Structure 1
Amino acid sequence: MNKELPRHAPLTQFPVEDDCLVVGGMRLTRLAERVGRTPFYVYDRRLITERVEHLRKFLPKEIHLHYAMKANPMPAVVQHLAGLVDGFDVASAGEMKVALDTPMPPEHISMAGPGKRAEELSSAIAAGILINVESAHELDVIARQSERLGYPARVAIRINPAFELKSSGMKMGGGPKQFGVDEEQVPTLLRRIRDYELDFHGFHIFSGSQNLRSEAIIEAQKKSVELALRLADHCPSPIRVLNIGGGFGIPYFPGEQRLDIAPIGEQLSERLEDIRPYLPNATVVIELGRYIVGEAGLYVCRVIDRKVSRGQVFLVTDGGLHHHLAASGNFGQVIRKNYPVVIGNKVQGTEREEASVVGPLCTPLDILGDRMDLARADIGDLVVVYQSGAYGYTASPSLFLSQPVATEVLV
């Protein structure tokens, strides 16, 4: 029997009642009836709130906490977070519209992305949000749009640092990157910002994501602050915003342990003391997405067939990679590993088996769980994929093979 599931980090965020998961105070079976159909994503507002409170507990009070909407742009989730965090980061005009529909003040919203279109930049300038400039050409476009509109754009420079966030799932700094301006080119761009008379605010330094090692995050934050201090003398005006990114990860796979953020908070307190004499007007921002919402979400689908092929059990569900590309292993994994999966209405079950969970698509890539230790499932049972609150539905090819789309709910 495959004993892989117990080696995942403890999955205690959702309670279990009579062997059935409870989400938002409701048994999963009843929630599925309320939603009306499977598959669906469900996000628990209590868990999102508790995660923000956890961050506030350990991070210095002076830190401004921003939510990176690309992790989960569901309007209801963003509305909920508008009352919990200090700002939003958006990556498109579509996300900007969602953010502007919330009570979050536009001056607390920033936009990043290496390929912003002219019309997106114009909308961002008109809205008054902070644009993270990612190239010299983009700066030229911003300047033209700013002149056309008649008021200065609020800008910061997104820097591609020479260093990277070690042991990160996705490296977004160090070496040649499509993100940001290489740190050695930043002084030149700062002079052009001065010449254009744009409203300069500071820097955005994001070196990597999905990191579970606090010491690596601490090192990257230290280097980010040092880089900002080196560049401060080149700035056309004092730095008002220093976004040092995020990178906080969550455990997905067997053997991974939860990130300890206590030492990160302690080191940040010391870092703030160090920079205050040099950057007295700077607001230091940490921008997180996955860490805030990732563990608060579940993907739920239903077993529609049960078959045995040459001794291997396959649970065929009505959901799959078209809704949850990451869980299928086709969203950046080099070697496929299982997300935590349970039978939601039989979490432990009176009988166990080794089974593979697959979707309805005509491709062998449509796997949600490969040879996992699960409660014995029957047709009609609910399969649940944990850690599904970030980079789930909107990061998946929902139009693939023209299957029905999934539903999203916040409870």
Structure 2
Amino acid sequence: MSQLVTALSGGQVVSYVEKLIQQKREREQQPVCAYIYDLGALRERAQRCVSSLPDDCSLFYAVKANPDPQLIASLLPIVKGFEAASIGEIRTIREVSADVPIIFGGPGKKDAEIEEALERNVMLIHAESLHELQRIGWIAERRQQRVAILLRINLRRTLPEASITMSGRPTQFGIDEIQVPEAIRLVQSLPFVQLEGFHMHSLSNNLDARLHARMVATYLQCVQTWIQEHSLSIRYLNAGGGFGISYTDLERRFEWNDFIEELQQVLEDYRIPGVQLIFESGRYIVAHCGYYVAEVIDLKTNHDQHYAIIRGGTHHFRLPVSWQHNQPFEVIAVDDWPYPFPRTERRQTSVTIAGELCTPKDVLAHEVHVEHLRIGDVLLFHIAGAYGWTISHHDFLSHPHPHFYYINQT
């Protein structure tokens, strides 16, 4: 179930949740469980990012972070295009727009996916290996259709540390840097494949903004060398995304303005004329626009540790247990108590927030301090807009799915 509402801003989310709780209590006697997306806040954040980028830079939204069509539609007039990591994501994007630019990435593209991507008029395909490049060329020639590609390269040089590292060490992503000459020769031998540039997405969730810009300088220097050594004429360097979000230290953040300031200097020093610099961001754009709401259905003490059991859990929102962090939340007090017996509560103590699944791993926050928490109160989890619902094991134990609500500030 989904619902679209209008005229609320991100700062009014708590008030909106309180009204939602009241409405649900009046209509049905079921615990509250929902995702809420603030589309106005999403558009505002994306617009700030796009507006501040230097000339010859463009921002694509990495759909893997959250492929909700409402979010894609909200971003459509703001971002340059969308980066998809599967044919399913491409289909979702095309349901929203028939012609918006799409970049197709991912390390395991199947022949049928490449075929359909060409039918759906993708802008660029990231070639992740020599074998994949050969298959792209074979399919393109059979179709008599020219294909624009970027070679995804796994660099061998030292790169910054981040939550997830996909380059600078052995991984399943991209073509080894030492194979770049072979890859270029191969693509030049394929009559229906056009090398439009390179893709280097080395890090995910990096919080050091200035170091991130200097990493882009490394990319530019590498590409400049390949252009000179192989007499290339290219149009794009895709520097990936990887702009980080901290879920544990809310004072720590990726300082976008610092990144832009440093990037301006990088481009003054290393800009490649005629080459557009692409960034494909997901988490950084959508994480803060999403909330997960779950009602406390039980409070219990087990082996001297306090637990709050919620309607929901990791089958809806797997990110906290996947990344092993405590998801930040606030308590929304609900005074209504429908039962004739006393209401269990906890004051000034540590509580573990656990879900309704039959596994001890179903935990969204471990031993976190609460001032006052009662059965029937509702938890509002923040920073839940990215890698939440779609990375979760929805149907484990066949519990009902959450509702979805959209705040649409116009």
- TM-score of the superposition, structure 1-length normalised? 0.86
Q: Which amino acid aligns with 1:136?
A: L
Determine whether 1:51 maps to 2:45: yes
SS at match of 1:220: helix
> Residues 33 and 224 (structure 1 numbering): CA distance in 2 closer, same or farther, change over 3 Å?
farther
On the 8 A contact 1:59/1:264 being kept in 2, the answer is no
On the 8 A contact 2:214/2:263 being kept in 1, the answer is no
2:5 aligns with none
> Residues 375 and 367 (structure 1 numbering): CA distance in 2 closer, same or farther, change over 3 Å?
same
What is the identity percentage for the equivalent residue pairs of Structure 1 and Structure 2? 32
> Residues 268 and 71 (structure 1 numbering): CA distance in 2 closer, same or farther, change over 3 Å?
same
Q: Say which of 369, 373, 382 aligns to 1:373.
A: 369
On the 8 A contact 1:87/1:109 being kept in 2, the answer is yes
Q: Which amino acid aligns with 1:317?
A: I
1:294 aligns with 287
Determine whether 1:339 maps to 2:333: no
> Residues 32 and 116 (structure 1 numbering): CA distance in 2 closer, same or farther, change over 3 Å?
farther
Per mean C-alpha deviation after superposition, the further-off stretch among 125-134 and 35-44 is: 35-44
C-alpha distance after superposition, 1:188-243 (max 9, x if no partner): 11111111121221111101011111232122111111111111135575111111
Determine whether 1:183 maps to 2:177: yes
Q: Say which of 253, 267, 274 aligns to 1:281.
A: 274
On the 8 A contact 1:92/1:113 being kept in 2, the answer is yes
Per mean C-alpha deviation after superposition, the further-off stretch among 211-220 and 89-98 is: 211-220
Q: Which amino acid aligns with 1:190?
A: I
Q: Unaligned stretches of 5+ in structure 2?
A: 1-8, 335-344
In the comparison of the two structures, how many residue pairs are matched? 385
C-alpha distance after superposition, 1:118-140 (max 9, x if no partner): 10011112222110000011011
Q: Say which of 384, 389, 394 aligns to 2:385.
A: 389
Per mean C-alpha deviation after superposition, the further-off stretch among 137-146 and 159-168 is: 159-168
Determine whether 1:212 maps to 2:207: yes
Per mean C-alpha deviation after superposition, the further-off stretch among 194-203 and 306-315 is: 306-315
1:356 aligns with 352
Q: Return the alpha-carbon distance in structure 2 between the equivalents of residues 22 and 202 of structure 1.
A: 48
Q: Unaligned stretches of 5+ in structure 1?
A: 1-12
2:297 aligns with 304
2:84 aligns with 90
Q: Which amino acid aligns with 1:359?
A: G
Cα RMSD, aligned residues only: 2.6
Q: CA deviation at 1:358?
A: 0.8
> Residues 407 and 190 (structure 1 numbering): CA distance in 2 closer, same or farther, change over 3 Å?
farther
SS at match of 2:73: helix
Determine whether 1:202 maps to 2:197: yes
- TM-score of the superposition, structure 2-length normalised? 0.87
> Residues 23 and 233 (structure 1 numbering): CA distance in 2 closer, same or farther, change over 3 Å?
farther
SS at match of 2:40: helix
Q: Say which of 117, 136, 142 aligns to 1:124.
A: 117
Determine whether 1:266 maps to 2:240: no
2:395 aligns with 399
Q: What is the correspondence of 1:93-172 to structure 2 with a 5 Å cutoff?
A: 93-103=87-97, 105-106=99-100, 108-129=101-122, 130-163=124-157, 165-172=159-166
Q: Which amino acid aligns with 1:343?
A: V
Q: Say which of 292, 311, 315 aligns to 1:318.
A: 311
Q: Return the alpha-carbon distance in structure 2 between the equivalents of residues 85 and 23 of structure 1.
A: 28
Determine whether 1:409 maps to 2:402: no
Q: Return the alpha-carbon distance in structure 1 between the equivalents of residues 22 and 386 of structure 2.
A: 24
On the 8 A contact 1:164/1:171 being kept in 2, the answer is no
On the 8 A contact 2:201/2:239 being kept in 1, the answer is yes
On the 8 A contact 1:167/1:213 being kept in 2, the answer is no
Q: Return the alpha-carbon distance in structure 1 between the equivalents of residues 234 and 358 of structure 2.
A: 54
SS at match of 2:14: strand
Q: Return the alpha-carbon distance in structure 1 between the equivalents of residues 202 and 273 of structure 2.
A: 24
1:253 aligns with 248
Q: Return the alpha-carbon distance in structure 1 between the equivalents of residues 243 and 234 of structure 2.
A: 25
Q: Return the alpha-carbon distance in structure 1 between the equivalents of residues 294 and 185 of structure 2.
A: 54
